[in-house]
Amino acid sequence: MFKPQLGDIKSTLDSLQPLIKEMAECEKELDGPEEELENLRVEMEGGVELIRKCSKASRFKQYKYGSRLVELSKSLQRLLGILKVQGIRDVKKALVSVRNVENVLHRIEGNCVIQNNQSEKNEGWCAVPEPPTITVGLDLPLRELKMKLFKDGVSMVILTAPGGCGKTTLATKLCQDAEVKDKFKSNVFFVTVSKKPNLYLIVKELYHRTGAQVPDFQSEVTSVSWLQKFLKQTGQNPMLLVLDDVWAGSEFILEKFDELKMTNYKILVTSRSAFPRFGSPYFLECLNREDAMALFHHAASLGDRSSYISEDLPRKIVERCMGYPLAITVVGRSLCGQPIEIWQKRVLEWSRGSSVLKSEHDLLDCLQRSLDALDEEKSLIRECFIDLGLFPEDKRISATVLIDMWAEVYGINEDISSIVNLYELASRSLANLAVTRKDNKDSDGYYTEHFVTQHDMLRELAILQMSQEPLQHRMRLMIDICGDNLPMWWKEQNYESLIARLVSISTDEEFSSKWQNLQLPEAEVLILNFQTKYYALPEFVEKMNKLKTLVLTSYGITPAELNNFQLVDSKPNLKRIRLERISIPSISRYPIQLKSLQKISLFMCRIGQGFGNGSIHISEAFPNLVEMNIDYCNDLVELPPQLCDLVQLKKLSVTNSHKLSALPEDIGNLVNLELLRLRCCTDLSELPGSVRNLKKLNLLDISDCFSIKELPEDIGELCNLERLNMRQCSRLNELPSSVLDLEQLKEVTCDEETEILWEPFLPFLKNIHMKVVKEDINLNWLHKAHC
């Protein structure tokens, strides 16, 4: 695309140079130089400079100049049109110069025709560009993509991945595939859409490609009409249209093409966004180690040089590129022909924490455009993306942690809104959102099984955004400590205090918990990640009076013993605490009181007698607790009776705790409880009779509680119960007759067996929707606790 366009512009400028001189002489015979002629001269001078830059541009910089060449071409045509009108005026003004002016105009007009003919000869932008001479790792994706595209009933496939993963390369490789050529013959069109799509220009390029006369229209309605005409003409035979580089916000373009789809008409869209409403997308993965190494050898032109370069050095470089094709290519080319010492220095810099993105500007530009596309309306999504960089490399991020963070920092009070933000990031290929259980599709606010992962290159992009500001002015502070080696600025106490609102500190298995003072008076979120069996909260936590969310995560094999937990005592603004792989008895030794705490989450913690014999009395420690989540706590046998004193509690969720066998008899004292979730507590045999006192209960979830044999006789007294999930309660033989009194019940989620239990009651319960879920035989979730 680039070379023919560059040649056309250069030819135009060369042809116009003598003509403009002649036109200037004609103008002198009239009233002196005109403004339009001067504008054209300035534009031509700028064009000459652009040609010079383009001629020297590397392959990865050509994309920057492509749009500027297009704008230059349009500008020249516009100015030439103005000169043509001016020439006609001048003919009337001065007949003595009419022959000269007409002659010049004729030659200008002829020059434009020549350039248009050349453009048609080069088939415009709709010609399929040639793929790179060497491609690796695309054979399997090519087969899978063809299978998906050729499937009956599929008219559009979205090929998606982050920038620099090879989407366009795969698309061009598909167009050159023998099977594709045999099916579509010459009826293959390739259009680059980019950030600001114009349906008129797309249709115009399609007409150029066929050599047909280009219609003159500008309105969207007329464009759609001509598009429909074009598709009818060309779509009589099988046709493949590739819409390359389609950005979020361009859905209207896809809608127009999708509305006009025909039987033999296939569309492949390459985009950083998944556009899920246009069908199931194809996700292009990064390269595996073998393919990544092959691409690097080609990019670095190793050849015979590999004999005197140790295998370890290219391996370290490729590992740092993390399978990203663009990263591998630009790094390889920057090292091509360089002395071995430069290779070694690059690896050394990376080992000290320097980012690949800092040294490879083309790679950074490519990835940065994904963030730049998040305009003011999506600025919050950009902030959410940057927040993902606060978490350790190669670790899953629990969606519930992000919910707690964003609720306090951005005021996102509805959990569902945070999840929507994660879906937005995933649709733009800026993160991956995974649900560990396939049957977890109920829209009941249960997000414990939702996890976020992010490619390391995107994580580096997020970290780079954090570091744009000086340390003392950053909103986010991320500190990664190896052993006891604190950052130099921290050791030397260079800053009296920092204004960061979000703070993340990660330590490894060699850390001794010896902290130095750190003033964080503005911190609202504190994330502490560690790997040691014993861990002490830093002393400076005591002075973090604005702290709202505390997240403690142990990445060790067994739950960690935690010291200094009393430092959080009486924190006036602390509303949310999440503990992961923590020994609860180790923190229950210290009496604390957190009157502002509203939510506490325990994930894969060792409960023991932590809430029984310790110094913490739940109702006194957390008098205003509204939500409590206990998940994958495998040693939890029974809930402590004192939990029933948390009269402000609205949500109680105990899930995947397989040894839990009983609930407190006085659970009915939780008179404000609106949600009771007991999902996958496989040893739980019954619900206490006092459950009937939960008059505000809106949702009851006992799914996968295999041991429950019967429901309480008075369950009908749950006068506000709207949703009941009883899927896979396989030992439940019958329902109590009081279910007829559940007048507010609107939805029952069950399996085929438990559905039968409801059949005698359905004629009397007119407003109930029975949601029957087929059994999921995939038991991988049972091993999640070991991940």
- The predicted-structure confidence for 392-430, as pLDDT tens digits, reads as follows 988 999 999 999 999 999 999 899 999 999 999 998 889
SS3 for 287?
coil
Residue 104 pLDDT: 43
732 vs 303, higher pLDDT: 732
Task: Give the whole-angstrom CA distance, residue 701 versus residue 448.
Answer: 14
Residue 783 pLDDT: 41
Task: Give the whole-angstrom CA distance, residue 663 versus residue 683.
Answer: 11
pLDDT band at 19 (very low <50, low <70, confident <90, very high): low
Locus of tokens 């006192």 = 693
Task: Give the whole-angstrom CA distance, residue 646 versus residue 619.
Answer: 5
Residue 35 pLDDT: 61
The structure's pTM equals 0.74
Q: Is the pLDDT of residue 347 over 80?
A: yes
Task: Give the whole-angstrom CA distance, residue 575 versus residue 571.
Answer: 9
pLDDT band at 62 (very low <50, low <70, confident <90, very high): low
Amino acid at 404: D
Mean pLDDT of 86-108: 45
pLDDT band at 672 (very low <50, low <70, confident <90, very high): very high
Amino acid at 60: F
- Return all residues near 675 (Cβ < 8 A) that are at least 6 apart: 445, 650, 651, 652, 653, 697, 698, 699, 701
In eight-state DSSP terms, residue 596 is T
Q: CA dihedral defined by 26, 27, 32, 33, rounded to 10 degrees?
A: -130
Amino acid at 204: K
Residue 540 pLDDT: 94
Residue 312, burial from CB neighbour count under 10 angstroms (0-12, 13-18, 19+): exposed
- Which is nearest to 174 in space by CA: 234, 122, 244? 244
Mean pLDDT of 236-241: 84
103 vs 180, higher pLDDT: 180
Residue 102 pLDDT: 44
Residue 14 pLDDT: 67
Mean pLDDT of 702-712: 93
Task: Give the whole-angstrom CA distance, residue 193 versus residue 462.
Answer: 27
Residues in the chain: 787
- Kindly state the helix (H) or strand (E) to which residue 106 belongs, with its residue range: helix 98-121
3-state helix, strand, coil in the chain (%, to 5): 45, 15, 40
Instruction: Measure Cα distances from 412 to 404, 417, 446, 450, 659 in Å.
Output: 9, 7, 17, 18, 35
Locus of tokens 């691409």 = 295
441 vs 377, higher pLDDT: 377
Mean pLDDT of 169-190: 90
Tokens of 209: 């490609």
Write b or e for each residue in 106-123: b if 16 or more Cβ atoms lie within 10 A of its Cβ, otherwise e. ebbeebbeebeeebbebb
The whole-angstrom distance between residue 564's C-alpha and the CA centroid of its chain comes to 37
Residue 95 pLDDT: 41
Task: Give the whole-angstrom CA distance, residue 134 versus residue 476.
Answer: 42
Tokens of 100: 């000269």
- Return all residues near 56 (Cβ < 8 A) that are at least 6 apart: none
128 vs 392, higher pLDDT: 392
Task: Give the whole-angstrom CA distance, residue 40 versus residue 78.
Answer: 10
Least confident of 340-349, 644-653, 734-743: 340-349
Residue 503, burial from CB neighbour count under 10 angstroms (0-12, 13-18, 19+): buried
Amino acid at 782: L
Asked if 746 and 722 count as a contact pair (C-beta separation under 8 A), the reply is yes
Tokens of 362: 């083309």
Task: Give the whole-angstrom CA distance, residue 198 versus residue 206.
Answer: 13
Residue 92 pLDDT: 43
Name the E strands within 22-147: none
Sign of dihedral through CA atoms 345, 350, 351, 352? Answer: positive
- Which is nearest to 309 in space by CA: 274, 285, 286, 336? 336
Best-predicted range by mean pLDDT among 189-193, 196-200, 699-703? 699-703
In DSSP terms, which residues pair with 269 in a beta bridge?
Answer: 158, 243
Mean pLDDT of 88-114: 43
Tokens of 671: 């008179």
pLDDT band at 258 (very low <50, low <70, confident <90, very high): confident
Ramachandran assignment for 518, one of left (phi > 0), alpha (psi -120 to 50 degrees), beta (any other): beta
Task: Give the whole-angstrom CA distance, residue 366 versus residue 163.
Answer: 6
Task: Give the whole-angstrom CA distance, residue 226 versus residue 235.
Answer: 14
Name the E strands within 429-492: 432-435, 450-453, 476-481
16 vs 351, higher pLDDT: 351
Locus of tokens 């001509």 = 226
CATH superfamily of 138-283: P-loop containing nucleotide triphosphate hydrolases (3.40.50.300)
Task: Give the whole-angstrom CA distance, residue 595 versus residue 632.
Answer: 27
Mean pLDDT of 166-177: 92
Q: Could you please state the CATH topology (level 3) that the domain comprising 472-636 is classified under.
A: 3.80.10
- Which is nearest to 160 in space by CA: 64, 249, 244, 239? 244
Residue 108 pLDDT: 41
Residue 118 pLDDT: 36
Q: Is the pLDDT of residue 367 over 90?
A: no
Residue 441 pLDDT: 57
Residue 123 pLDDT: 43
Task: Give the whole-angstrom CA distance, residue 584 versus residue 559.
Answer: 9
In DSSP terms, which residues pair with 239 in a beta bridge?
Answer: 265
Report the DSSP pairing between strands 627-631 and 432-435. unpaired
Least confident of 2-11, 327-336, 745-754: 2-11
Q: Is the pLDDT of residue 117 over 70?
A: no
Least confident of 206-220, 250-264, 402-416, 515-529: 206-220
Q: Which CATH class is domain 378-468?
A: mainly alpha
- Which is nearest to 671 in space by CA: 694, 697, 698? 694
Report the DSSP pairing between strands 747-750 and 723-725. parallel
Instruction: Measure Cα distances from 89 to 16, 31, 32, 82 in Å.
Output: 21, 13, 14, 11
SS3 for 359?
helix
In DSSP terms, which residues pair with 525 in a beta bridge?
Answer: 502, 549
Q: Is the pLDDT of residue 717 over 90?
A: yes
Task: Give the whole-angstrom CA distance, residue 486 versus residue 508.
Answer: 12
Task: Give the whole-angstrom CA distance, residue 719 versus residue 715.
Answer: 9
pLDDT band at 455 (very low <50, low <70, confident <90, very high): confident
Tokens of 267: 């569309």
Best-predicted range by mean pLDDT among 74-78, 292-296, 612-616, 623-627? 623-627
776 vs 604, higher pLDDT: 604
In eight-state DSSP terms, residue 219 is S
Task: Give the whole-angstrom CA distance, residue 75 versus residue 176.
Answer: 34
pLDDT band at 26 (very low <50, low <70, confident <90, very high): low
Task: Give the whole-angstrom CA distance, residue 399 versus residue 305.
Answer: 47
pLDDT band at 106 (very low <50, low <70, confident <90, very high): very low
Task: Give the whole-angstrom CA distance, residue 131 versus residue 94.
Answer: 56
- Which is nearest to 445 in space by CA: 408, 400, 380, 397? 400
